[in-house]
Amino acid sequence: MGQRADTLEREIVANRDHMSRTIDLMEQQFRRTMDWKTRVMSNPLPYVGGAVVLVLLLAGGPRRTVGFIRSRRPRPKTRLEQLVEQLPDPIAERIAPGVRRAVDTLEDLPDNLRKAAREAQRERDKQIQKEDEERLKRAARATMTERILMKFAEAAGAAAAGFLVKSLSERLFKEEEAK
C-alpha cells in the first residue's frame, strides 16, 4: 500500500509539472498572439493597407478623398487672374471678386454640362422606348388586321366554292333530268 501511495504521489507531481509546462506554453503563445506590435513589425504591409482602406472609407470613398486632396492644393491661377493682378491695386481689388466668381462658375460648367447631357440622354432613351412600344402596338394591330382579313378571305372563298359546287351540281342534275 505504501508503494502504491508513492506511485500515485509521483504521478500527481508529474501531472502537475506537465500541466504547469502546458499552461506556461499556452500563456506564451497567447502573449505572442496578442502582442500586436510584434505582429505589425514583422509584417506591416497588410496593416498599412488596411489602415489606408479604413481612412478612405471614413473619408467618404476614393472619389471624395481625391476631391478633398485636390481642394487642399493651391490651384494655379488662370490667365485672367494673372492679368487682373497686373492691374493697379485699386482697380485689381474692385475687379478681382467678380473675376473669381466667373472663374469658379466656369469651373463648375463641365459638371453642369455632364448632368444636363445625362438628363437629355435619359429623356431620349424614354422617347425611344415610347416609340418602340408604339411601333410594336401598330405591328400587333396590323398583324391582327391581317389575320382577320385572311379569315374573311378564307370564309369568302369557302362560300364561293360552296356556291359554285351547288350551281354545278344543280346544272348537272337538270341536264340528267332533261335527258
pLDDT (tens digit per residue) in 163-173 = 888 888 888 87
Residue 63 is which amino acid?
Answer: R
- Cα(20)–Cα(8) distance, integer angstroms: 18
Q: pTM score > 0.75 for this model?
A: no
Q: Are 17 and 11 contacting, i.e. CB atoms less than 8 angstroms apart?
A: no
Q: Are 99 and 81 contacting, i.e. CB atoms less than 8 angstroms apart?
A: yes
Would you state the cell numbers that stand for residue 37, as one nine-digit string? Answer: 506590435
Percent of the chain with pLDDT over 70: 93
Q: Are 40 and 63 contacting, i.e. CB atoms less than 8 angstroms apart?
A: no
pLDDT of residue 23: 92
Mean pLDDT, the chain, whole residue set:
81
Q: Angle, nearest 10°, between helix axes 79-86 and 89-178?
A: 160
In the structure, what pLDDT confidence band is assigned to residue 179 with cuts at 50, 70 and 90? low
Q: Does residue 40 surpass a pLDDT of 60?
A: yes
